[in-house]
Chains A and B, each alone.
Chain A
Amino acid sequence: MSDVEVSGVSKRYDELWAVKRVSFTAPAGSFTSLLGPSGCGKTTTLRLIAGFAALDEGEVRIGGRPVDDLPPWRRNLGVVFQNYALFPFMTVFDNVAFGLRRRKVPRGETAERVAEVIDLVGLPDLAQRYPRQLSGGQQQRVALARALVIRPEVLLLDEPLSNLDAKLRAEMRFELKRIQRETGVTSIFVTHDQEEALTLSDQIVVMNLGTVAGAAAPKAIWEQPESAYVADFLGIENLFPGTVGAAAGPDEPVAVSVDDGAAVLRAAADRAPGSAVVLGIRSGDIAMRRSEGAGAAEEPNFLDGAVREFTYVGSAVVYQVDCPDLPAPLIVTAQQDFAIGDRVRLRLPPESIKLLRPEAPPDRSGDRP
């Protein structure tokens, strides 16, 4: 197995940098996700690794060897496409055997290896069927089998689950995890779905406008996202720009005043006074109860508000709460029932408030990456 080192890779299409100084390393045998919204450059990065497009600057190394001068057919990579890209006029067997035939593998061995990999991906006996006769899930497995049969150094997956329905997608997620563990192939997986990235990956590389916004293990990126952008993409619902004030003392929470609002919240974090931050808190970390007294909350990290709207999501209810001290409504998840207009008191625990790095969006134009 080989690791993949992407260093300072840039690619320009017309006036814009589709990918700009992107660097990350996918360790050998690991599962790395490139996560980001459409147009963030994640697929372009994958295509540069595969060799389908030529990079303008930087270097891609696979197993320590620079591959930028190699065409795709010399890189020994397995690629699974979003639309599967199965050869429509070939049977399942011929599709899977395609790579082995290009490698002049003898017939007997070809048949053996095809049978082996078809078994690995959990396909029933469909070898003589054509792609159009298969279900979406089966086509997906054929695409995986075809990419794996050549024993690639790296497996590249471009949103392979996005064309499946929700139930099948969850099932294939487990399958993908199992297959990756059994083969131990270094995998790079492109997705816009944070849940997919969190459940599958050893490492998540979050991308934004052609640049890397943050890279870490799922747990680390979930608990302490580097920047406001990463936090937003990983579903931290409440984000407010603020300014750090003075700390009450060493190891005491710092007070952060919310910009465009009267709220001052304490956060268990260490930041220099005066620095600009983004306060982030998940909807589920906020405690909400009916406010009894008429007086405003005086204790730290308590806010008063009124329920504006709610949506029932099955396991809980998600509320939108208007707080006079905040510039935008707060999103709160609660088990208890509240009605629209109910006056509520909210507690935002200091240890749940994340102070995130605000980020200016990267500039995609210009002659230099």
Chain B
Amino acid sequence: MGSLFLRSGRGLVTAMAVFWLVFLVAPIVVTLASSFTSSTYLTFPPPGWSVRWYLSAFESEWVWSTFWNSVVIAVVSTAIAVALGIAAARVLARHRFYGRGAFEYAVLSPLIIPGVVVGFALLNVSVLIETQDAGLLNLIIGHTMVTTPFTLRSVWSSMAGSDISLEEAAQSLGATRWSAFWLIVFPLIVPGIVAGAIIAFTFSFNDVTISAFLSAREARTLPVELMSHIEYLPDPTPAAVSSLMIVITLAFFLLVERTVGLGVFADR
């Protein structure tokens, strides 16, 4: 029985590993390889090798401007999402009130509503209140909306480990409500905050669906700009930019692993 279970378990692991290699790693390898092509159009395998498309990427104005847009949007929306996530998690973890369930579902709803719907809805609203030209603002609002569920969930689950009695103990010892939170609760939820922030940042930085609706002429994100380039121009610059994004993401996760550990992503 046991060995049969073990054997089928091993088979499953092997199948998963194969799946992961074929569908996740292979495309990355293809992208990386074709970004070093010497040809003027995207092809795989490349006929020859060169770094000309990387130079082209670094020299392209559109890459830099949209890259900075993406960074600003990701940083600002993540910061707001973390703040909102902490506040909402605290309310949900500590209070029982009428409409609590409705509040929970409202905040978490972007998780199940398709990005296209969210993007389209936000676009309509921005047209209605005539802010459709304030692209950066719209993007930040949209990204905050869809990333707050991630920060809420991870902060909330880390709060479950901090018993209310810890705060009460701190208060009985002379800490005000506010300092009890900062001295006792906050250190306990830092892993949840870090995990939520990383997920939110990554989501915001990589998002296409919602950004495509909300990007105005002056405020486009890198992934949206990349997509339109790939659509209309055959040159391999986007492949080089994609490869850079892959490398940056990997470096980012390596940094997280070395500092706080990837365990922050595990739900405890």
Interface residue ranges, A against B (CB under 8 Å): 50-52, 71-73, 75, 77-79, 81-83, 85-89, 98-99, 102-103, 146-147, 150, 156
Extra contacts, 9 of them, besides A71-B176, A73-B175, A146-B169 (Cβ < 8 A), are A71-B177, A73-B173, A82-B165, A83-B165, A85-B169, A86-B169, A98-B175, A99-B174, A103-B174
In the complex, the answer to whether A52 meets B168 with C-beta atoms within 8 Å is yes
In the bound complex, residues from chain B placing their C-beta under 8 Å from that of A50 are 168, 172
In the bound complex, residues from chain A placing their C-beta under 8 Å from that of B165 are 81-83, 85
Interface residue ranges, B against A (CB under 8 Å): 163, 165-166, 168-177, 179-180, 184, 187-188
Main secondary structure of the interface of B (DSSP, over half): helix
A-B contact pairs, 25 of them (CB 8 A): A50-B172, A52-B168, A52-B171, A71-B176, A73-B174, A73-B175, A73-B176, A73-B177, A78-B172, A79-B169, A81-B168, A83-B165, A85-B163, A85-B168, A87-B166, A88-B188, A89-B187, A98-B170, A98-B173, A99-B173, A99-B174, A102-B174, A147-B173, A150-B174, A156-B172
A203 to B126 alpha-carbon distance, docked (Å): 69
Residue picked from B171, B176, B184, most chain A C-beta under 10 Å:
B171
CB closest chain-A residue, reference B184: A87
In the bound complex, residues from chain A placing their C-beta under 8 Å from that of B169 are 79, 81, 85-87, 146
CB closest chain-A residue, reference B173: A99
Task: State the Cβ distance, B233 to closest chain A Cβ, in Å.
Answer: 53
If the complex has contacts A85-B163, A99-B173, A150-B173, are A72 and B168 also in contact, measured as CB distance less than 8 A? yes
Task: State the Cβ distance, B174 to closest chain A Cβ, in Å.
Answer: 3
In the bound complex, residues from chain A placing their C-beta under 8 Å from that of B172 are 50, 72-73, 75, 77-79, 147, 156
Task: State the Cβ distance, A160 to closest chain B Cβ, in Å.
Answer: 12
In the bound complex, residues from chain B placing their C-beta under 8 Å from that of A79 are 168-169, 172
CB closest chain-A residue, reference B167: A85
CB closest chain-A residue, reference B170: A98
A102 to B163 alpha-carbon distance, docked (Å): 21
Residue picked from A75, A82, A88, most chain B C-beta under 10 Å:
A88
A156 to B171 alpha-carbon distance, docked (Å): 14
A86 to B168 alpha-carbon distance, docked (Å): 11
Task: State the Cβ distance, B196 to closest chain A Cβ, in Å.
Answer: 19
